[in-house]
Amino acid sequence: MLAVNSNIGPTYKSSQNYYDTLDWFLCRTSFANKILSTEIDSSSILHSDHYPMLIIVRMSPRTSVPAPSNPNRLNFNKANWRKFSHELEKQSINSTDTNHTVNTLNAAITSAMLNASRLAIPSVSAKRHSLQLPSSIVDMIRLKRKLRRQAQRLRTSTARDEFKTVCRQTKRVIMQFRNNKWANFVAKVDPNPISAKPFWQRINRFRNNPESNTIPTLKENNRVYKTDQEKADLFALHLATQFSDSNPPPNYDVEFKNKVDSAVPTILAKLDRIVPISDAEVRLAINEVESKLTVDPFGLCNSMLKSLPESFKVHVRNLLNLCLTTNDLPADWKKSVIIMIRKKADHYHLVKSFRPISLTSVLCKLNEKIMQRRMSDFMQTTISYQICNQDSVHNARLVTTSSLSYKKP
């Protein structure tokens, strides 16, 4: 907290012409930064011996930040993937149009997949949870809060006794309601259940802390970060520093990097042309992705990729080839949503106690998987022998091969 009028003059004048600063204007640092000027109006004729303070503040109009495009949550457990594939076959996309850019073609493919998902995958219903309290108990809770405010205002024994009576009745009714819920649930459970999943789902509703997913107040360099914007800025600075090329690790081999940089252009110059991505490569990459239901920032998931019909995979292949020939990527592929997950650490208020998880486009990940396979084959057949002259790049064999072939001098 800061005292804004700490050095601008007295605020009090007694009848004996005694001056003093008896009135203080305290505010946060963020608000003090917006104050343009502060004055004591000692010329005003008031019926008081305290002078008014005049503070001019720079205020900007409130701007609402548009919310990201978050589609309705889809219930993938009830998805009709056959209908999803059938709806995609109806979509009309001219992916061979020469006027298409990587951005427009990516937008057309994404829009077609979203339209098919809305027709084949139902949305999550916003129904009331079975453990929510009925309206009669909710009315009792509202009455209890009303009587509590009344007791705090009146400060009489009658108001306090009335509040305590209703409070006891409310607790007793809630306890009885929950006991009945548990009794009904246990009665429905079979003596020899096939799975204990329903039971533990109900148990975990009470075990899980709803506040565990929130970011607590952070502390860094003797400063406290409380607001969401301050925490986001701190995480952004931490990640930018951690993943920066300006600070290489201590074991970074600069000499080997320079050797690679000088050899790669010569190798690439010998290549005749860029080989287009084939249907087989797209099909293989889609088969290798995991069937996850995690939705990317644009509403797509891996299960949608696995349900693409063969006719629609051609459009995806054309998009990937367009990225390859134009040496460009869609702007949406360069965006991601970063979620900070708390580690199992004692110092939860430190930035290093969180690790980032990035949600990117599933189409971008598909392209990366194809490029990774091509780069791996190219490194094994060309780069490793011309630069290192040894068997240095092999999937799942790097540590084993290096250990067995190492000879102590």
Q: Are 35 and 8 in contact (CB under 8 A)?
A: no
Q: Are 145 and 185 in contact (CB under 8 A)?
A: no
Q: Is 385 found in the same domain as 282?
A: yes
What is the model's pLDDT at position 52?
76
Q: Are 35 and 5 in contact (CB under 8 A)?
A: no
In whole angstroms, what is the distance from residue 318 CA to residue 363 CA? 12
Q: Is 193 found in the same domain as 281?
A: no
Q: Is 390 found in the same domain as 298?
A: yes
Residue 351 lies in a domain: yes
How many residues are recorded in the chain?
Answer: 409
Residue in this structure with the two tokens 């708390």, named with its chain if needed: 342
Helical (H) or strand (E) element with 205: helix 197-207
Residue 357 lies in a domain: yes
pTM of this prediction? 0.59
* Low-confidence spans in the chain with pLDDT less than 70: 1-9, 15-16, 19, 21-25, 29, 42-47, 60-72, 125-131, 205-213, 245, 247, 272, 345-346, 382-409
Q: Is 258 found in the same domain as 201?
A: no
In whole angstroms, what is the distance from residue 265 CA to residue 70 CA? 43
Q: Is 380 found in the same domain as 259?
A: yes
In whole angstroms, what is the distance from residue 315 CA to residue 319 CA? 6
Q: Is 194 found in the same domain as 274?
A: no
Helical (H) or strand (E) element with 212: none
Distances from the Cα of 115 to the Cα of 11, 37, 92, 97, 290, angstroms: 67, 56, 12, 21, 23
Say how many Å lie between the first and final Cα of the chain, rounded. 66
What is the model's pLDDT at position 61?
57
Q: Is 293 found in the same domain as 351?
A: yes
Provide φ and ψ at 3, rounded to 5°. -95, 110
Helical (H) or strand (E) element with 275: none
Residue 112 lies in a domain: no
Residue 269 lies in a domain: yes
Q: Which of 177, 192, 207 finishes a domain? A: 207
What is the model's pLDDT at position 346?
67
Residue 200 lies in a domain: yes
Q: Which of 207, 236, 270 finishes a domain? A: 207
Q: How many domains does the chain have?
A: 3
What is the model's pLDDT at position 42?
66
Residue 317 lies in a domain: yes
Inter-axis angle of helices 362-378 and 279-288, nearest 10: 110
Q: Are 110 and 364 in contact (CB under 8 A)?
A: no
In whole angstroms, what is the distance from residue 228 CA to residue 236 CA? 12
Where do the H-state alpha helices sit in 307-361? 310-326
Ramachandran sector of residue 234 (left: φ over 0; alpha: ψ -120 to 50; beta: rest):
alpha
Residue in this structure with the two tokens 């007295």, named with its chain if needed: 10
Q: Is 379 found in the same domain as 311?
A: yes
Distances from the Cα of 146 to the Cα of 13, 81, 129, 362, angstroms: 45, 52, 26, 51
Q: Is 257 found in the same domain as 203?
A: no
Q: Is 383 found in the same domain as 259?
A: yes
Provide φ and ψ at 93, rounded to 5°. -130, 125
Token pair recorded at residue 199: 């039971």
Q: Is 372 found in the same domain as 285?
A: yes
Q: Is 159 found in the same domain as 30?
A: no
Containing structural domain, residue 177: 135-207
DSSP state of 384: I
Which of 110, 102, 53 shows the shortest CA–CA distance to 300?
110
Residue 215 lies in a domain: no
Q: Which of 57, 75, 100 finishes a domain? A: 57
What is the model's pLDDT at position 182?
82
Q: Which amino acid is at 231?
A: K
Residue 120 lies in a domain: no
